[in-house]
Structure 1
Amino acid sequence: MASRLPRRRFIQGSAVVAALSAAAACSGSGSGGGGSAPSAASAADFTGTGPITWVQGKDNSDGKVQARIDEWNELYPDEKVTLIELSAEADQQRQSLINNAQTQSDAYDVISIDNVWVAEFAANQWVVPLPEDDLKNDDIVESVWQTGLYMDRLYGMPFATDSSIMFYRKDFLEEAGVEVPTTWDEVKSAIDAVRALPGHEKIGGFGGQFAKYEGLTCCASEFINTAGGSFYDDEGNVTINSPEAIAGLQVLIDGFKDGYIPKEALEWKEEDGRNAFESGDLLFYRQWPYQYANNMAALGEEKFGVAALPTIDGKDFVPTLGGHNCGISAYSKNKATALKFVQWWTSQESEKYALETQTLAPILGSLYEDSEMLEQFPYLPTLRESLDSAKGRPKAVSYGDVTAAIQDALYPAVQQQVTAEEAISNLETALKALS
């Protein structure tokens, strides 16, 4: 029998999960789906072998993804994988995947889904539940594994995790005689010191991804969470309007107001800031680990370094947990091959390859302690600490609406068009309307 999904759109807390699991047993297609989706039972029938597609965002690794796929194709010539690259921007990637699902197209087989999309894609039955016994092992970082679960079932197998870290221009700090900062006040002092040097007077300070897109949600959340604020509690109640959230947002606003965060960052996405950093126009950059490989190629290890994001007012910085998971389309005709590919794509060999060639953060804890990996990537302990302290974005079935509300409310604040109090109050109203 068909039933509507529960009105509450957030899957947080064991009691809520249990209730929703029971409701899902007789649920039809979720809200926002196009057409009638197949049932979970039939979608999870892993039969059918043959060619499949791997669909992800733009490959910034200079062909390393295709090279790995070529290895698969040599091993399994009757089950070849074709790489389909989508936009470099997360919002556009998500829309392309949704468009394909809503037309019930079999053009996409295995898809890369941001971990915050798992609930939405699972609830709408655009991806199928995966056999956990075939995919889980004790080496997977538990918090990373949890990102693939919806109502206690695995719908997205993690293949790369993420947590933000701070890249810094080692050469400029050394020129100014400044140690790597560990606090927000020290970051500002370091910026002042480098700007006092001839030729660096106008260097950008601390950059991030503050354009009005998913990057703003990630970056602004970090300031709010670091100050002790939150968007929701464990029961899914809106909690954003708090003194802590206002204080965290105010720190971010002041960074722009005082010139320590460059106004250009209001239009920056990941690659914009990386280009500024590598060209010498930015001293510190809040970014994902993949940048390490790019910096090594463009700058060399003598010109940059990696550190944890700075504490603010004595509080440890709370990074945003990122990462991508493998989902298998409900409309794939070759689900047996798709599952075999997911197993191979998330194996230790593949995880090591992705770390070595693209500096993607691995899902396996052992690689953060591997002596060979530590010699190549000495920042791995810093990254693991960041992962362990990171906080995920809301697990929302309607995550697209939630992140749009966050961006609509907070972007005017970082532009200094509204106060922190006004922005947080507006966001509270918007989030409650979505609950």
Structure 2
Amino acid sequence: MKSRNFLLPAATAGILALTLSACGGGGGGTTGGGGTDADANLDGRGPITYVQGKDNSNVVRPLIEKWNAAHPNEKVTFKEQTESADQQHDDLVQNFQAKNVNYDVMSVDLVWTAEFAAKGWLQPLKDKMAVKTDDVLKPVVDGASYKGTLYTAPQSSDGGMLYYRKDLVPTPPKTWDEMMSMCSIAKANNIGCFAGQYAQYEGLTVNASEAINSAGGSVLDKDGKPSLNTAGAKAGLENLAKAYADGNIPKEAITYKEELGRQAFQEGKLLFHRNWPYVYNLATTEASSTVKDKLGLAPLPGKSGPGASSLGGHNVGVSVYSKNKATALDFLKFIMSEETQKFYATQGSLAPVLTRLYEDKELVAKLPYLPVLKTSIENAVPRPVTPFYPAVTKAIQENAYAAIKGEKPVEQALSDMQKSIESAGAGS
């Protein structure tokens, strides 16, 4: 089999830990001098440690070698975690709780930002610790922030896209209803119509949130409270449940995570497929792919235009317990630089955070999906931003899965989802 040089999006690397640690001791406590941990060591310079999950695409080590060559007195050591997102999350929590000064800078999944910021573990990136975000895509900045304050530096983004068979559908659908009307083409060709990721795992939170947001609803309102008893939320989840019931979403798709769906599409078994950008390289280069010359790309279809993709990606945070925050800040700026962002894109197929790179002719020539991805990210909505995310995602997965399979009426599933999220603390 061809070796694969790609990173699955953070949303799919594993199911997040489902229970927040009860013994968290929020950081941001007082230091010996009477200030807070966030006030300390702002001018500190020296060696730092960078913590991230497994470097499957070999993007971290070359960058650190480059940094270390230019900063011999402020070298970065790479602490590599496992591939599993839940294990990465737990490792960070344990080291934050222990106030480990050797976890200086870490890669933070978007959905962990609110939890870590609320507990006082992440250094606010403002005043002396500010980074420039003028040229960063707005949804990416929003996803790196909590309650209006930037807590992580944008590192890489991601957005869902619609892959389709351009030999069967010359013009891609712009709306969900239009796409469903094209399912007759799939039936005429004896293939499935549409599939995303509907197994009961983190990817279902992504897909259910996209469906709800694209239909005009939202899982949480602007105050962080559940908002599922709405016409928009009902329409979104109903779109998935109805499509599954009538066969427009094939029955086997209830087991699909990213890879099963990708393989089905590449084998010519689907007309439309929702997935992340990493699929493009594999679908156009793998010897087994039957869609190499038939692959079309479009934004996800919404209610009346582009849908609301769930925003993916990772950002980089600084621990409030770091002793060398000035060095850590410079390292964040290095990660956000245009040169590093181009390297992430070409070496790791990671979506840039800088707006101007989506119009970079040289980069677009190498990665033709970038213009579509830009539309996806510009219309993207982060998964629910809440310090109670592990419990929230569990409630979404369980109830969306039951609704799609027809085990619960959509209204009941949304009502149960609402109650579960409220009881987790997000409704208070």
Q: TM-score range by the shorter chain?
A: 0.7 to 0.9
Provide the C-alpha distance between the structure 2 equivalents of 1:92 and 1:374, rounded to a whole number of angstroms: 35
Give the TM-score, by structure 1 length: 0.80
Q: Is the 8 A contact 1:132 1:154 kept in 2?
A: no
What do residues 18-51 of structure 1 show as CA deviations (whole Å, max 9, x unaligned)? xxxxxxxxxxxx9945346343843352354444
Residues 431 and 34 of structure 1: CA distance in aligned 2, closer, same or farther (over 3 Å): closer
Q: How does 1:159-238 map to 2 (within 5 A)?
A: 159-168=155-164, 170=165, 173-174=166-167, 176=168, 178-188=170-180, 190-194=182-186, 196-197=188-189, 201=190, 203-238=191-226
What is the CA RMSD across the aligned residues, in angstroms?
2.9
Q: CA deviation at 1:406?
A: 1.8
How far apart are 1:327 and its partner, in Å?
0.7
1:128 match = 123
Aligned to 1:428: 418
Distance of 2:151 and 2:275 partners within structure 1: 27
- Determine which of 93, 96, 119 is the counterpart of 2:91: 96
User: 1:156: Cα distance to partner?
Assistant: 0.8
Equivalent runs, 1:9-408 vs 2, <5 Å: 32=22, 34-35=24-25, 37-39=27-29, 41-44=36-39, 45-61=41-57, 63-131=58-126, 134-168=130-164, 170=165, 173-174=166-167, 176=168, 178-188=170-180, 190-194=182-186, 196-197=188-189, 201=190, 203-298=191-286, 302-312=293-303, 314=304, 316-408=306-398
Q: Structure 1 residues 68 and 268 mapped into 2: Cα distance closer, same or farther (>3 Å)? A: farther
Asked if 1 retains the 8 angstrom alpha-carbon contact of 2:139 and 2:381, the reply is no
Aligned residues of 2:265 and 2:271 also touching (Cα < 8 A):
yes
1:220 CA drift (Å): 0.4
Give unmatched runs, 5+ long, in structure 1. Answer: 1-29
CA shift in 2, pair 1:93/1:272, >3 Å: farther
Distance 2:83 2:184 in 1: 34
Question: CA 1:343 to 1:316, structure 2 compared with 1: closer, same or farther past 3 Å?
Answer: closer
Question: Shift of residue 155 of structure 1?
Answer: 1.2
- Cα distance, 1:376–1:47 mapped onto 2, change above 3 Å: same
2: CA distance between counterparts of 1:401 and 1:273?
Answer: 26
Runs of 4+ displaced beyond 6 Å: none
Contact 1:91 1:214 in 2 (8 A): no
TM-score, length-scaled by structure 2: 0.81
State the SS of the aligned residue for 2:351.
coil
Equivalent position amino acid for 1:305 in 2: G
Output the amino acid matched with 1:304: L
- CA distance in 2: counterparts of 1:328 and 1:278, whole angstroms: 40
Distance of 1:145 and 1:42 partners within structure 2? 24
Corresponding pairs, count: 396
Instruction: Answer yes or no: is the 8 Å Cα contact 2:158–2:277 preserved in 1.
Output: yes
Alignment partner, residue 5 of structure 1: none
Deviates more, 1:158-167 or 1:34-43: 34-43
TM-aligned CA deviation for residue 423 of structure 1: 0.1
Secondary structure at 2:212's aligned position in 1? helix
- Structure 1 residue 144: Cα displacement: 1.9
Per-residue CA distance 1:128-166 (angstroms, 9 max, x = gap): 222466411421223322322224332111111222111
Kindly indicate whether the alpha-carbon contact (under 8 Å) linking 1:207 and 1:284 is maintained by their aligned counterparts in 2.
Answer: yes
Shift of 1:347: 0.8
Partner of 1:24: none
Seen in structure 2, the aligned counterparts of structure 1 residues 194 and 266 have a Cα distance that, compared at 3 Å, is: closer
Q: Give yes or no for contact 1:182–1:311 (8 Å, CA) kept in 2.
A: yes
Alignment identity in percent?
Answer: 43
Whole-Å separation in 1 of the counterparts to 2:46 and 2:292: 44
Look up the SS of the partner of 1:244 in the other structure: helix
- The amino acid across from 1:287 in the alignment is N
